[in-house]
Amino acid sequence: MTEQGTDQRIGRYQVAAVSNALDLLARIGEVGETSTAEAGRSLGISRSSAYRLLLTLQSRGFVEHDRTSRRWSLGTPFTKMLTRVTETRLRSASLPSMRRLLAEEKETVNLAEFIDDELVYIHILESPQAFRMSNIPGERIPLHATALGKAVIAAHPREQWRSFVANLELEPITPSTITTPELLLAELEVTRRRGWGDDRSETALGVACFGAPITGLSGLPLGGLSISLPEARLDAGRAERLGTRVLEETIRVSAGIASRSMSGRVDGE
């Protein structure tokens, strides 16, 4: 059957209400929130039909209604479900690269997801060496003091950096932690230029980490990969090699996510 014939066959069996509901959820996901009238206009249906559709979605937790603003947004249960889906897809896309890095360097490899302006470890492959650095899945990552945090901020447009930094609590985790906005902004410039961030005893004394961002179809970061290890194992030239290898693998993961997004198999956002 030709592609056109397949499309026509699918079209005959589509349920208009379901199509409208999915289109509306996608629309709210793009713009953040909508009024009932705006929902109707975007779908090309009456305001009353849009209202009934929104009420149905609300009853299942897919949308929430703010009575003060009279606007609708994605419901918390639905956004949590999307987060789980994104996390699963990010892990699946990143695992081959994580395994390559572990096999090459024999050091701990970390995968983190960036959501709601927070970085969270979601998967970790531990070093086989007896003396190793290990993080914990579910642990939140301080953006100002970690290789991944700096890499993710630096992957955003420069005009957004000051806003990110202004919202951070620049706590001195160790004596090496960057605690002033201007020093952090200067570090972001270095990170942006080379494509990867580093952390030398900024979150734990004697620990080094090198990380780079994984980006989605929009070019904005979805998360990132990093390698962590004792500083004692950083021989001459190894820091540059680790940063470069992490960057190469995150570029590969990002390209795979973009490719699947374009084909319609994975959102990547």
CB-CB contact of 125 with 148 (8 Å): no
- Position 265 scores a pLDDT of 43
Residue labelled with tokens 């589509």? 14
Q: Among 40-54, 121-135, 147-161, 204-218, which is the least confidently predicted range?
A: 121-135
- Position 86 scores a pLDDT of 64
Q: For residue 175, count other CB atoms closer than 10 A to its CB.
A: 8
Using CA atoms, how far residue 166 sits from 150, 160, 161, in Å, is 14, 10, 9
Does the pLDDT at position 124 exceed 90?
yes
pTM assigned to the model? 0.70
Average per-residue pLDDT for the chain: 86
State what percent of residues in the chain have pLDDT above 70.
86
Question: For residue 224, what are the β-bridge partners?
Answer: 112, 213
Query: How many whole angstroms separate alpha carbon 23 and alpha carbon 33?
Result: 14
The predicted-structure confidence for 147-193, as pLDDT tens digits, reads as follows 999 999 999 999 999 999 999 999 999 999 999 999 999 999 999 99
Q: Rg of the chain's alpha carbons, rounded to an integer? A: 22
Does the pLDDT at position 92 exceed 80?
yes
In the chain the domains, ranked by start, together with CATH numbers, are 3-74 (1.10.10.10), 79-263 (3.30.450.40)
- Position 156 scores a pLDDT of 95
Query: How many whole angstroms separate alpha carbon 258 and alpha carbon 269?
Result: 9
Per-residue pLDDT band at 14 (split at 50, 70, 90):
low
Query: How many whole angstroms separate alpha carbon 37 and alpha carbon 53?
Result: 12
Query: How many whole angstroms separate alpha carbon 19 and alpha carbon 24?
Result: 8
What's the sign of the alpha-carbon dihedral 169, 175, 176, 182?
positive
Rounded (to 5) percent helix, strand, coil in the chain: 50, 20, 30
Does the pLDDT at position 215 exceed 80?
yes
- Position 104 scores a pLDDT of 97
The predicted-structure confidence for 221-269, as pLDDT tens digits, reads as follows 999 999 999 999 998 899 999 999 999 999 999 998 877 655 544 443 3
Using CA atoms, how far residue 103 sits from 96, 97, 126, 198, in Å, is 11, 10, 11, 21
